[in-house]
Amino acid sequence: MTAGMSRARRRVGVLGALAVAASWSVVFVGAAQPAAADTQSKQWYLGAMQVEDMWKVTTGEGVKVAVVDTGVNSSTPSLQGQVLKGTDATEAPGDETDDYTGHGTTMAELIAGTGKGGGLKGLAPGAKIIPLRIALDEFEDEKPSITIPDVANAIRAAADSDARIINMSFGGEYSSPQERKAIEYAESKGKLLFAAVGNEGHKQNKEEYPAAYPQVVGVASADRKGKVSSTSQHAGTVDVASPGSDVPGWCDNSFKSYCGGDGGTSSATAIASASAALVWSLHPDWTANQVLNVLFDTAGRDWEDGVRSKYLGHGLIRPSMNVLKGKGDPGPPDISPLTKEKTTGAAKSSEPSSSKSGSPQPAKNGEAVDKAVAVKESNSSDNGNQLGLILGVAAAVAVLGGVAYAVVRRRKAA
């Protein structure tokens, strides 16, 4: 692994589930469905999150989401008419609609897919996608001439776009001054940034960037029982948890079929971004801070508000609590729920900065919630899903189903 702008980057998506810190009772999709809808029947979280009821109120219309990833194929049945003009930050052959693995297209469909042709249904099908292509995994090896700070440039392009939300379903253990400045710039432009915390919780479990930046919402993965996925990292960067285990996606860049697989924290991040799109669509005058504050305020947990679990952050994301019940305190428009600092002020220049980074980042998560082991289970019927949570850290790691393969740089992921 290398440092600097060619830092290790891990796309996130591996198999396995671990009973660690949460449990939610969900409403599952019913019995087996026709083959054409088989992929959608595997999107177990749609029923759990009450999407049909939410879509009667909002589908995310009016909100644009920037997807910084491997590119987005705009011609899949589920994405036709959903993808706007974006940017290719790789300077490699092709453009932002040339997805070299299928990963970015999967993320886009999970956010704003229409489900046409039996494809993935997005949580916010009324939203639009702005694709930003960067070099990840094996693409870095195939295109060794790519030495530009593509991630930083892509984030800046997203910040300068009409997107309100920036989805980053990737990560690596190295930071850079350029990337840090790009993240700060995006925040100054009023963007809401989500990133995957990584899928090596069962291994090295190191903090990863961009999730580790204090201005970015780090997203953990939960399975269909509400348990934290076995691979979901918990290195102090988790701000919220979202469905990620057993989420299907495109098998590869041939776009011929979907694989069952496991989306991990990649998919969890996309679903969190879509959740924000639903809330923001309903409250278009809110700032990014207010949307995020409501998502944190309504997250499923039974510990003290404002305390972050190492594994779950503020809890399991529940946009239906605001969309259907009007719950959640938006708080002040100019105070970040992440840093507790003011975010107002003139935006910085959009030109990449070569200056060095400032002071060390503050720790994102406390450990007060994680000292007990499987303390108790409580039930809440507020959102109709009877969401229950078990606090604490599991004393023993119980892998359910095993880990098929890990995802590291230069290795193909689900």
Supply the residues annotated as catalytic. 69, 103, 266
164 close to 288: Cβ distance less than 8 angstroms? yes
| Residue located via tokens 């060794």 | 144
Tokens of 143: 């295109």
CA 320 from chain centre, in angstroms, equals 18
Q: What are the Cα distances from residue 285, in Å, to 19, 281, 341? A: 39, 9, 20
407 close to 199: Cβ distance less than 8 angstroms? yes
Q: Could you give the 3-state DSSP secondary structure of residue 359?
A: coil
What is the distance between the alpha carbons of residues 94 and 99, in angstroms, rounded to a whole number?
A: 9
Of 269, 286, 257, 51, give the one whose Cα is nearest residue 166: 269
Q: What are the Cα distances from residue 116, in Å, to 78, 81, 110, 112, 245? A: 5, 11, 13, 12, 23
Other residues' Cβ atoms within 10 Å of the Cβ of residue 54: 23
| Residue located via tokens 């292509």 | 133
| Residue located via tokens 């899903």 | 385
Nearest-5° Cα angle at 114, 111 to 120? 65
What is the distance between the alpha carbons of residues 5 and 176, in angstroms, rounded to a whole number?
A: 7
Amino acid at 284: P
Q: What residues are paired with 66 via a beta bridge?
A: 130, 166
Please give the torsion angle defined by the CA atoms of residues 181, 184, 188 and 190, in that order, rounded to the nearest 10 degrees: 130
H-type alpha helices, 217-326? 264-282, 288-297, 320-323
Cα dihedral across residues 12, 17, 23, 25: positive or negative: positive
Tokens of 35: 């083959």
Query: Is the peptide bond between 210 and the residue preceding it cis, with omega within 30 degrees of 0?
Result: yes
For 256-409, list the strands marked E by DSSP.
258-259, 377-380, 387-390, 399-400
CA 18 from chain centre, in angstroms, equals 19
